[in-house]
Amino acid sequence: MSRKAPPDAENPEWTRKDFEKARPASELPPDVRMAFPRMRGAQKAAKKIPVSIRLSPEVVARFKAGGPGWQARIDEALKKALGL
């Protein structure tokens, strides 16, 4: 059974009308555009390959306990184990 998240008054779900009115940040006036952080461009070549892998709950919990970057830490552990 799927449960719907409660509505968020500060961040309401967008309607079709909201999407129709939306414009890219590049179309904003320069003084407003400066409030947005700069985004990096597209990668020249993919550095990593997205995959789906099944790991034991204990392994995932241990890596997640270290906070953000847990997937990168798994990648490093696998490289080390393989001697890469």
Task: Note whether residue 63 is domain-resident.
Answer: yes
Can you give the pTM of this predicted structure? Answer: 0.47
Backbone phi and psi for residue 80, each to the nearest 5 degrees, phi listed first: -60, -45
**Tens digit of each residue's pLDDT (9 = 90 or more) over 37-53:** 776 777 777 788 889 99
User: Does the residue 5 lie in any domain?
Assistant: no
* 74 located within any domain: yes
Tell me how far apart the alpha carbons of residues 78 and 75 are, in angstroms, rounded to a whole number: 5
% the chain with pLDDT above 70: 95
In a domain, 55, yes or no: yes
**Which of 21-25, 27-31, 35-39, 71-75 has the highest average model confidence (pLDDT)?**
71-75
Q: What is the pLDDT of residue 1?
A: 53
Tell me which residue has tokens 């790991």: 55
Range of the domain at 71: 16-38+48-82
- Is 29 domain-assigned? yes
Question: Closest Cα partner for 71 from 83, 55, 42?
Answer: 55
Average pLDDT over residues 58-67: 95
